[in-house]
């Protein structure tokens, strides 16, 4: 299997200026070549909504909204996949959503574990954890606070994910460390893409990263400034769950004991 290139784009969006933020990200992405791009949670709108009305006004339909259409056009022209976070409007409900875009189409993952005031603005996600394929590589998506729950990443790994993409707006310091642990315990590559900068009282920690299936850091962004970088991985490494000659991380699971 040839190397698979994962790009992360850590941006500092102008609050609620979707067109400007989207154009800025696409310009940065066009200067590099990647098979998969991961962008932050709410990369085009910013995050610190003052109230539900403001959050809902920023939301758009998927896949018909302008942000998803722009990403889909880029993916088709460049032959890449994109995982990016945005607020989604679906009928009378609103979700914190990651669009999973390939040249063949768009899927959506709705955030399962809402954080803080997100619970005032959005409904809990109702999409099962799933994988999609691009260039023969199986990719799963989580969003930000999902990192706290090991069941989420494990579910994707059991479904065959080789790469887990995580759009984020992290303000707590532990996410990058824990995602390395998720890589180790599941033998998967993880691509955590955070934003940087400040909105209101929130300061985002940056520190986006790509972690190897052994938990090693393959690519790391700084804390306070924008960053666009690409790491080449060997995705077949995520298919080998052996830890030692005696141990297989999935084969050694004791599902007979994992119950209440």
41 is an active site residue = yes
State the catalytic residue, choosing from 100, 144, 193, 228.
144
State the catalytic residue, choosing from 25, 41, 131, 193.
41
Three-class DSSP labels, 106-149: EEEEECCCCCCCHHHHCCCCCCCCCEEEECCEEEEECCHHHHHC
Rounded-to-10 torsion of CA 80, 83, 87, 91 = 70
State the catalytic residue, choosing from 18, 107, 111, 138.
111
144 is an active site residue = yes
151 is an active site residue = no
Nearby residues of 191 by Cβ (< 8 Å), 6 or more positions away: 6, 8, 36, 38, 83, 163, 164, 165, 166, 209, 210, 211
Q: Which of 206, 219, 225 is nearest to 163 (CA)?
A: 219
Cβ atoms 155, 130 nearer than 8 A: no
Could you list the active site residues?
41, 111, 144
């Amino acid at each position: 299997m040839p190397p698979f290139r994962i790009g992360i784009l850590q941006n500092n969006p102008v609050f609620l200026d979707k067109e400007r933020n989207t154009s800025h990200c696409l310009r940065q992405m066009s200067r590099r070549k990647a098979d998969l791009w991961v962008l932050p949670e709410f990369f085009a709108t910013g995050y610190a909504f003052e109230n539900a009305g403001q959050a809902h006004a920023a939301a758009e339909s998927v896949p018909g909204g302008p942000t998803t259409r722009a990403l889909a056009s880029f993916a088709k022209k460049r032959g890449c996949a994109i995982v990016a976070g945005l607020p989604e409007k679906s009928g009378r409900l609103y979700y914190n959503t990651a669009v999973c875009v390939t040249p063949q189409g768009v899927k959506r993952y709705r955030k399962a574990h809402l954080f803080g005031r997100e619970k005032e603005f959005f409904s809990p996600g109702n999409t099962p954890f799933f994988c999609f394929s691009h260039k023969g590589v199986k990719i799963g998506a989580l969003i930000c606070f999902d990192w706290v729950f090991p069941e989420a990443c494990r579910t994707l790994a059991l479904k065959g994910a080789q790469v887990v993409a995580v759009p984020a707006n992290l303000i707590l310091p532990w996410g990058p460390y824990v995602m390395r642990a998720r890589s180790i315990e599941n033998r998967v590559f993880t691509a955590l893409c955070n934003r940087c900068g400040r909105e209101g009282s929130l300061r985002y920690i940056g520190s986006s990263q790509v972690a190897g299936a052994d938990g090693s850091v393959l690519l790391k962004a700084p804390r306070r400034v924008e960053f666009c970088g690409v790491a080449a991985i060997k995705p077949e490494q995520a298919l080998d769950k052996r830890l030692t000659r005696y141990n297989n991380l999935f084969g050694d699971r004791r599902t007979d004991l994992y119950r209440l």
